[in-house]
Amino acid sequence: MLKPQTANPPKKEIFVPGDKSISHRSVLFSSLAKGSSEILGFLEGEDPLCTMSCFQALGVGFEKKGPGNYFVTSPGKFGLRVPEKILDFGNAGTGIRLSAGLLAGLPQMEAILTGDVSLCKRPMARILDPLNAMGADVKSVENNGRAPLQIKGKQLSNYQYESPIASAQIKSALVFAALSSGIQIEYAEKELSRDHTENMIRFLGGNIEYKTPLHFILKPPFSFEGTKFVIPGDLSSASFFIVFALCAKGEPVLIKNVGLNPSRIGIIQVLRSMNGKIEILSPRQECGEDIGDLLVYPSKLKRTTITEDLIPSIIDEIPILTIAGLFSEGGFKISKAEELRAKESDRIQSMVSNLERLGVSVNESQDGYEFGELSEIKSCAIETFMDHRIAMSFAILSKLTNVNLSFDDTSWVDTSFPGFFDILKSF
């Protein structure tokens, strides 16, 4: 198996940026709530900032008070105005999908939502079909099931939906549509997807009735008031340095103030099953979210079996888990993860092609890939496929091994983790 070549001990303590998923949602919820709100710990990456800019175009005021600190003034959902221009969400898949749901349930609304070249390749039919079944009028402008999306807001009807896939974006798009239209929604899924939206609704005093952990009913009325949103550090961002600390030689690394939502901690479960030593310190709660500090020790990793039920909670972390697999006794396998093909890039193809450039023998399937234990990799050019997680994962590998990897473009990293390379250079 690969052996790290890092000579200097890691820095003892680091912080990662605010949670991207919760940052997006803080914009939407503070826009729904009439009056004033405050957001602390907002991720000032391109994706959340694009969502914020779109809601500014809808008439919501965001005044920056300091790093990650914003004062929000909203006219409330009925005061949101028709934008004068097309709403550009950049590369923010979460932003465009959740916002499409919110705007679809506002009878006064007409808008066109778009994004960059990468975003306009991502599938949108998964939200369009159920939204339109609720009575919405949301269309793909090119009629190809992708952005740009044209929305004509409508008063929607009570709705029941069982999602064929575990997806927080589908779930949240429908929930935001229900919130904006003031209707009841009953939602079920086969595996637990991220529940940040539900947590924030409960934090704001909303009424969610759970029939099972995978089946809930959200009931009106919804009369949210402005409040303070405190956003923890992003576990997905922390995962890069968790893997670095596990695989590097040196002292333990303490990663402070990380969100530990139970629907997100699959990455910790998997790495622990790979013999990784990770401790959770100072557990606490903010805005309905579990938070803690992570103390990560250098560990001798081994191959593990990743079960299908864990896939929804690790879907964004699979690229960096794959890097951990390169350092594992016995290699690595991921399966039942076809959803990877619908991310910022086709992440199965992106990872396999780059692993092959490194000299790794990889068996690719429709829903994953597998490779055995290896002892070396070779220097090569990494293609990032306009995907921030691909870029960051192989940057971690390059730092761990001191193997020179060149990159076609790493600017995509700023969509989710500004300052990533500064932290990496500090080790």
Residue 249, pLDDT above cutoff 50:
yes
- Average pLDDT over the chain, rounded to whole? 94
- Give the pLDDT confidence of 29-83 residue by residue, as tens digits: 999 999 999 999 999 999 999 999 999 999 999 999 999 999 999 999 999 999 9
- Beta carbons of 16 and 417 less than 8 angstroms apart: yes
DSSP string for residues in 247-265? HSSSS-EEEEEEE--TTTT
- Give the pLDDT confidence of 376-413 residue by residue, as tens digits: 999 999 999 999 999 999 999 999 999 999 999 999 89
Residue 415: its pLDDT value, please?
A: 85
3-class SS of residue 365: strand
H helices present in 340-413, as ranges: 347-357, 388-401
- Mean pLDDT in residue range 238-267: 95
- Mean pLDDT in residue range 251-279: 96
Structure token digits, residue 37: 């709100």
Tell me the pairing of strands 207-212 and 215-219.
Answer: antiparallel
- Give the pLDDT confidence of 158-204 residue by residue, as tens digits: 999 999 988 999 999 999 999 999 999 999 998 888 899 999 999 99
Just list the catalytic residues: 316
Residue 7: pLDDT band with limits 50, 70, 90: very low
DSSP string for residues in 282-345? EEEEETTEEEEEEEEE----B-----GGGHHHHGGGHHHHHHHHHTSBT-EEE-S-GGGGGSSS
Residue 10: pLDDT band with limits 50, 70, 90: very low
Residue 344: pLDDT band with limits 50, 70, 90: confident
Separation of alpha carbons 170 and 137, rounded Å: 16
